[in-house]
């Protein structure tokens, strides 16, 4: 059995519940690889082999050593049944179409990690919010974007089926981090001649909800705008 662990939901972020509800320490009990964000929607997180990196909206990348820092949303897993892959001339269009079809991902959760030389990378980084929190969609419309050319790094993240598009990001939700750990964020676009890495299909989603958090329990989700709001906030550019 292979398990993807997810703490919190994008529906809760859409409702503006940005307070952290799991510590880094607790999160790492459920996975050594993953992505997420910190309290206040503070930045874009990459977790690689238990090392936690946070890109903040200035563009700076912090190596997180405070295991008590809290996160409202994160997805992690322990590698279990990884398959090695090599992809050539790869970009989001190729991942969204050819790769999903080839590996029959439409109805499953999957993990993807790809490393190599990128010709072009475009990322964005959510800026930290203060209370009273806006919604995820509000934040998504005002966040800095950064680009880099000819950069070595790693793409890491997950694929989720359409039917889970109210809980997490449907399709690919990928973050990027450079090999020198100086450039990272939520991946919007990329282009690379050759990337190697691994991917894994999960048969189990462990969805953890912060049931002891009062704002979470009381929050009202707008079902009419939820799916599109998440797609706009978390989608990739292509």
Selected binder of its own copies within 32, 70, 91, 207 (CB under 8 A): 207
CB of 133 to its own copies, least distance (A): 16
Task: Give residue 104's Cα distance to chain centre.
Answer: 21
Is residue 219 at the binding interface for its own copies, with CB under 8 A as the rule? Answer: yes
Rounded (10°) CA dihedral 27, 39, 36, 226: 120
DSSP 126: P
CB of 186 to its own copies, least distance (A): 22
Q: Give the strand pairing for 42-48 and 51-55.
A: antiparallel
Q: Based on CB atoms, which residue is closest to its own copies, 53 or 202? A: 202
Is residue 23 at the binding interface for its own copies, with CB under 8 A as the rule? Answer: no
Longest dimension (CA), the chain: 48
Tokens of 231: 């797609």
CB of 141 to its own copies, least distance (A): 22
Is residue 136 at the binding interface for its own copies, with CB under 8 A as the rule? Answer: no
List the one residue out of 113, 117, 87, 116 whose CA is nearest residue 99: 87
Selected binder of its own copies within 27, 41, 125, 167 (CB under 8 A): 167
Instruction: Tell which positions 91-110 bind its own copies, by CB under 8 A.
Output: 104, 106-109
CB of 32 to its own copies, least distance (A): 20
Selected binder of its own copies within 12, 45, 87, 139 (CB under 8 A): 12
Alpha helix (H) ranges present in the chain? 10-14, 24-27, 92-94, 100-102, 136-140, 214-218, 223-234
Is residue 224 at the binding interface for its own copies, with CB under 8 A as the rule? Answer: no
């Amino acid at each position: 059995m292979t398990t993807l662990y997810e703490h919190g939901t994008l529906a809760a972020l859409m409702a503006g519940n940005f307070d952290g509800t799991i510590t880094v320490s607790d999160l790492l009990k459920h996975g050594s690889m993953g992505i997420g964000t910190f309290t206040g929607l503070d930045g874009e997180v990459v977790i690689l082999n238990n090392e936690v990196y946070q890109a903040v909206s200035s563009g700076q990348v912090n190596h997180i050593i405070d295991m008590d820092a809290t996160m409202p949303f994160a997805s992690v897993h322990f590698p279990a049944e990884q398959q090695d892959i090599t992809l050539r001339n790869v970009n989001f269009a190729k991942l969204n179409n050819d790769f999903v079809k080839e590996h029959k991902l439409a109805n499953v959760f999957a993990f993807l990690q790809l490393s190599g030389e990128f010709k072009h990378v475009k990322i964005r980084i959510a800026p930290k919010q203060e209370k009273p929190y806006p919604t995820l969609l509000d934040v998504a419309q005002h966040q800095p974007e950064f680009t880099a050319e000819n950069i070595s790094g790693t793409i890491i993240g997950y694929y989720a089926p359409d039917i889970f598009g109210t809980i997490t990001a449907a399709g690919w939700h990928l973050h990027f981090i450079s090999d020198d750990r100086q450039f990272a964020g939520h991946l919007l676009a990329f282009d690379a001649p050759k990337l190697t890495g691994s991917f894994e299909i999960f048969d189990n989603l462990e969805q953890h909800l912060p049931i002891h958090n009062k704002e979470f329990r009381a929050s009202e989700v707008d079902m009419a705008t939820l799916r599109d709001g998440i797609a706009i906030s978390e989608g990739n550019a292509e």
